[in-house]
Structure 1
Amino acid sequence: MSGHVEEPKKFEPRKPVQLDPPKSDPISLDYLSKCDGINEGYPTLVAIKRTVFDVSGNPAYGAKGQYHVFAGKEPNRALAQSSLKPADCVPEWEDLSDKEKGVLADWYTFFSKRYNIVGQIQ
């Protein structure tokens, strides 16, 4: 195959991660909001561009973690703008600059190499 370019490895996890096949189960915003790393019996979930990732195994998204602000939400704007402000943890991202949209796309790639996709926001 001449001319084939490999995807850059910059988002590869340091330790290989065995991921399950992605699921497309419908997930409501109400259910997502309960998956905030605090509610017992619920997984910890983060959505990016309507795709829901299970981050339960990473304490950074738990109650005392530095990224807890993202748990149970679809924080597209905050990720794109590298913000940890709760007010920025909203789904709207279409009006962002091309650079910020690129940052959000990088986060999506980063998450997809580390966390199982468990569904889609409905």
Structure 2
Amino acid sequence: MAAKFEPKEPVQLNAPNYTPISVDDLGKNSGADGQPCYVAIKGIVFDVSGKDAYQPGGSYSAFAGKDASRALGLMSTKAEDVRPDWFDLGEKEKKTLDDWFTFFQKRYNIIGTVQGATNKDPDSAL
């Protein structure tokens, strides 16, 4: 089942880095003004720089510089859904969020964790 998330082109990823990143620093990395572009899921920060969809004006730009866990679980790009809380989602939405997390893990470098995040997966070793 995990094969469905494999990238079409091979991706060389660095070893995950779990350096704490403040919410303010996460927000500064939205791809604007030549800055890197980060998206967090369940408190884990991914570097999505270079992917047009997350850059300003892109179809997923609402996620840039934020923890988009809830929005990803809901399959939403609405600004009000782009927030870290996800524990109250239904089982279907939690599965969708898990699928997105797997998708990101296979494509983007993990460059940190959101400092003080309260939305980390309780089943995760992190």
Paired residue for 2:30, among 11, 20, 36? 36
Moved over 2 A (4+): none
Larger helix percent = 2
Between the aligned partners of 1:83 and 1:105, the Cα distance in structure 2 is 15
Indicate the RMSD between aligned Cα atoms, in angstroms.
Answer: 0.9
Question: Does 1:81 find its partner at 2:104?
Answer: no
Counterparts of 1:8 and 1:67 in 2: how far apart (Å)? 23
Q: TM-score, normalised by structure 1?
A: 0.91
**What TM-score does the superposition give when structure 2 sets the normalisation length?**
0.88
Question: Aligned partners of 1:90 and 1:70: how far apart in 2?
Answer: 9
Deviations 1:65-122 (A, max 9, x none): 1110000000111100000100000000000001100000000000000000000011
Aligned pair partner of 1:94 in 81, 87, 106: 87
Give the letter for the 1:118 counterpart.
I
Q: How many residues align?
A: 115
2-structure distance, mates of 1:39, 1:71: 13
Name the counterpart of 1:47. Answer: 40
- The structure whose Rg is larger is 1
Separation in 2, partners of 1:112, 1:8: 11
Q: Equivalents in 2 of 1:37, 1:87: separation in Å?
A: 20
